[in-house]
Amino acid sequence: METIELADGGRLLYEEVFLEPELADRYFVELRDHCLWEQKPALFGHMQPRLTASYGDAGITYRYSGTVNVALPWTATMLEIKHRIEAVCGQYNYCLMNRYRSGSDSMGLHADDEPEMGNVIGSLSLGATRTFRIRHNFSKETRKFPAGHGTLIIMAGTMQQFWKHDIPKTTQAVGERINLTFREIKKTEIK
């Protein structure tokens, strides 16, 4: 696994082929076919340009951009993936999954800097390769990484405070991609 030290204390761990293809294939099919996917509203009355699913420990709720995500119980497959990623870095109690159905599905430039969230995020990509892009908040330095079938990216250090990241749209013909983002979230009550 490559460790990339970023400006202002950010750290990115990157392994392009974290999972062997056969295992990545199995995980992709199981998650695609057996998770509870939904398209949620975004800001300004639009729908998010992707599908999402939320899993985690009992009582975990993740809120961002006006969206409330109550964790469903872990599946056996998700626990298996979680343990593999925790063996590299971090401890996680929640996973937000994003399902990109085509190149027109995307994730805008953002930081996962909600106060209830820890500073380590483990991100596993399955399916079609997309570009994972990071940009420094002040210098605007930009770096790009291929997020392919079985790629693991761990964001740590002060990355969420000083860097934003996204999965931009693409006009290239690409297949489906599932991204699992494992996080540690403080338990909060639903209001």
For 60-82, the pLDDT digits (tens) are 998 877 778 899 999 999 999 99
Q: What is the pLDDT confidence band of residue 30, given thresholds at 50, 70 and 90?
A: very high
* CATH code, 31: 2.60.120.590
- pLDDT at 63 (0 to 100): 83
Q: What is the pLDDT confidence band of residue 47, given thresholds at 50, 70 and 90?
A: low
pLDDT over 80 at 43, yes or no? no
- pLDDT at 141 (0 to 100): 97
d(CA 181, CA 186): 16
* End-to-end CA separation in angstroms for the chain: 41
134 neighbors 106 (Cβ within 8 angstroms): no
Looking at the 3D structure of the chain, how many domains does it have?
Answer: 1
Q: Is residue 92 part of a domain?
A: yes
pLDDT over 50 at 191, yes or no? no
Tokens of 86: 């925790």
How confident is the prediction for the chain on average, in pLDDT? 92
Alpha helices (H) along the chain: 21-34, 76-86, 159-162
- pLDDT at 42 (0 to 100): 64
Cβ atoms < 10 Å from Cβ of 73: 10
pLDDT in tens, 78-110: 999 999 999 999 999 999 999 999 998 888 899
Residue partners of 158: CB distance under 8 A and separation at least 6? 8, 9, 10, 119
- pLDDT at 41 (0 to 100): 65
Task: Give the residue numbers spanning the domain of 149.
Answer: 2-183
Q: Is residue 84 part of a domain?
A: yes
Q: Is residue 24 part of a domain?
A: yes
Calculate mean pLDDT across residues 111-127: 93
